[in-house]
Amino acid sequence: MSALSLNRRTLLAAGAITAVTPSLTSAETPFPSAEEATDVVVIGAGGAGLAAAIMAQSHGARTLVLEKMGEIGGNTRLADAFNAVDPKAQQQIGVTDSPEKHAQQMLESGSWCADPRLVRTVAYGAPVTLEWLKTCGVEFDPGVYQVYGSLWPRTHSPRAPLVSGYIEPLAARCRALGVDIRTHHKVLRIVRENDRAPVTGVVVQKADGTEAVIEARRAVIVTSGGFSANAALVSRFDPRLQSLQTTNMPGATGDLIAPLEDIGAATVGMEFFQLLPGSATDGRFIGAISPVENMILVNRWGQRFVAEDQPGTVVTDAVLAQPGRLAFPILDADGYAAMRPLSRAAFDGALTRGDAFSAATLPELASRLQIPAETLLRTVET
Ligand SMILES: Cc1cc2nc3c(=O)[nH]c(=O)nc-3n(C[C@H](O)[C@H](O)[C@H](O)COP(=O)(O)OP(=O)(O)OC[C@H]3O[C@@H](n4cnc5c(N)ncnc54)[C@H](O)[C@@H]3O)c2cc1C
């Protein structure tokens, strides 16, 4: 394999972050009478929402979680890898690490576009969060590894399959504490009388289509996730992604972004998206392709075009510059054997469905992928 290397995108190093000026229209909307009241309303029952609900309820606040979809979990249902410094596990494989190194590598992975203060909050908080998740009943496989897209072996994976890994234990903890979780409850607006007044509640659309106002006496916590499943919004912020499919859950549509801007919230970094190899061309989830040392990416001409262990943003930009914005991750038998059990299970499913192919020889693989065999052979041999 040749050693391709790319320069960092110094263009973005200054951090292209935009703030949207809020348009305050809520003053025109009088506070409607509330149908019910609680202390804290959490919007969205993904990992962040369930964690927030556990904390709020444990501190004595009566907490209601509103989830617009028919099932809880959001994109967190699909998440596996949890990156955190873990000296005990890392020492066993001779790896030294620190939260500051984690923070620096996160910044590097994101081509220095992220806010260092927020990145440090994540990196320094990750070991504590890992232990907290364990107290909530999340069980992790022993040891650490380096997941594709990260730069150091500090990845932990739950023992249970994807959905059960984080969401089921967190939801069980919520229910044990008495948190009220309601599905098919879509929050339409946040109630704030004017730009100097506190937020006082939410307007929600219930399963039967009727609307209700719920008063939140102490706080409204918005954990409604991202918007990668909203193709129109995605291509507004990055036109290169127009008509690109996504592995995101269908609820990731960002429908609260505009209502939040209406009550004075600012948005930042909307133009940054993470793309990783791991989906069929129609967006079906194939699974993470890891570890990276056993994988190459080729374009539809059978050529390698990027060093696969570069930060995710670099790989993303390189894939988007290829013909048809298409790249094929190719693994050999060692790569398949080295896959994590969860990744391998997802990958096996893709093989069965015909979203991924196996072949005994490179010419056979080239024929199945409809790419030039000679070029693929040359690419693999060099
Ligand atoms: C295929 C895939 C694999 C991933 N793998 C990993 C991984 O291995 N490791 C990792 O760290 N990250 C991974 N991620 C990213 C990770 O899943 C997300 O960063 C994380 O789940 C975000 O959590 P969240 O709680 O903020 O949002 P979500 O889990 O998406 O939850 C948001 C919830 O809010 C709900 N909601 C939205 N709008 C409303 C509304 N108006 N009213 C009520 N409810 C609403 C949504 O339906 C959803 O249930 C992956 C993402 C994808 C798509």
Predicted confidence pLDDT, tens digits, the chain (382 residues): 333 332 222 222 222 222 222 232 333 444 557 789 999 999 999 999 999 999 999 999 999 999 999 999 999 998 888 999 999 999 999 999 999 999 999 999 888 999 999 999 999 999 999 999 999 999 999 999 888 778 899 999 999 876 789 999 999 999 999 999 999 999 999 999 888 899 999 999 999 999 999 999 999 999 999 999 999 999 999 998 888 888 899 999 999 999 999 999 999 999 988 877 777 777 677 765 666 778 899 999 999 999 988 877 788 889 889 998 888 989 888 888 888 777 788 788 888 988 889 999 999 999 999 999 999 999 999 8
Q: What is the DSSP string of 348-379?
A: HHHHHHTSS---SSHHHHHHHHTS-HHHHHHH
Tell me, using a 6 A CB cutoff, whether residue 251 lines ligand 1: yes
User: Of 309, 310, 230, 316, nearest to 273 (Cα)?
Assistant: 316
Could you tell me the distance, in angstroms and rounded to a whole number, from the CA of residue 171 to the centre of ligand 1?
15
CB 108 within 8 A of CB 152: no
- Substitution candidate for ligand 1 out of 224, 253, 273, 274 with most atoms within 8 A of CB: 224
Left, alpha or beta for 94 (phi > 0: left; psi -120 to 50: alpha)? left
The Cβ of residue 333 has, within 10 Å, a number of other Cβ atoms equal to 9
Q: Give the CATH H-level superfamily of domain 26-222.
A: FAD/NAD(P)-binding domain (3.50.50.60)
Q: Where in the chain is the domain with CATH 3.90.700.10?
A: 292-381
Cα–Cα distance for residue pair 201/339, rounded to 1 Å: 46
Q: Tell me which fold the domain 292-381 belongs to.
A: Flavocytochrome C3; Chain A, domain 1 (3.90.700)
Q: Where in the chain is the domain with CATH 3.50.50.60?
A: 26-222
Ligand 1 atom nearest 251 alpha carbon: 47
Number of Cα atoms under 13 Å in the Cβ half of residue 129: 18
pLDDT score of 207:
94
Tell me, using a 6 A CB cutoff, whether residue 81 lines ligand 1: yes
Q: Supply the residue whose CA is at minimum distance from atom 9 of ligand 1.
A: 81
Could you tell me the distance, in angstroms and rounded to a whole number, from the CA of residue 89 to the centre of ligand 1?
27
Look up residue 101 and give its two tokens.
């190194």
Cα–Cα distance for residue pair 186/255, rounded to 1 Å: 10
ipTM comes to: 0.99
Q: Cis check for the bond before 323: say yes or no (omega within 30 of 0).
A: no
Q: Supply the residue whose CA is at minimum distance from atom 15 of ligand 1.
A: 79
Tell me, using a 6 A CB cutoff, whether residue 67 lines ligand 1: yes
Tell me, using a 6 A CB cutoff, whether residue 225 lines ligand 1: yes
User: Of 307, 298, 322, 320, nearest to 374 (Cα)?
Assistant: 298
Could you tell me the distance, in angstroms and rounded to a whole number, from the CA of residue 197 to the centre of ligand 1?
30
Ligand 1 atom nearest 80 alpha carbon: 8
Terminal Cα-to-Cα distance of the chain (whole angstroms): 5
Could you tell me the distance, in angstroms and rounded to a whole number, from the CA of residue 372 to the centre of ligand 1?
38
Q: Supply the residue whose CA is at minimum distance from atom 50 of ligand 1.
A: 79
Farthest CA pair distance, the chain: 71
The Cβ of residue 93 has, within 10 Å, a number of other Cβ atoms equal to 10
- Which residue do the tokens 């009088």 mark? 30
Could you tell me the distance, in angstroms and rounded to a whole number, from the CA of residue 5 to the centre of ligand 1?
32
pLDDT score of 107:
94
CB 24 within 8 A of CB 263: yes
User: Of 290, 335, 315, 13, nearest to 148 (Cα)?
Assistant: 290
Look up residue 160 and give its two tokens.
């249970």
Could you tell me the distance, in angstroms and rounded to a whole number, from the CA of residue 79 to the centre of ligand 1?
8
Cα–Cα distance for residue pair 295/329, rounded to 1 Å: 6
Could you tell me the distance, in angstroms and rounded to a whole number, from the CA of residue 223 to the centre of ligand 1?
9
Tell me, using a 6 A CB cutoff, whether residue 109 lines ligand 1: no
Could you tell me the distance, in angstroms and rounded to a whole number, from the CA of residue 43 to the centre of ligand 1?
12
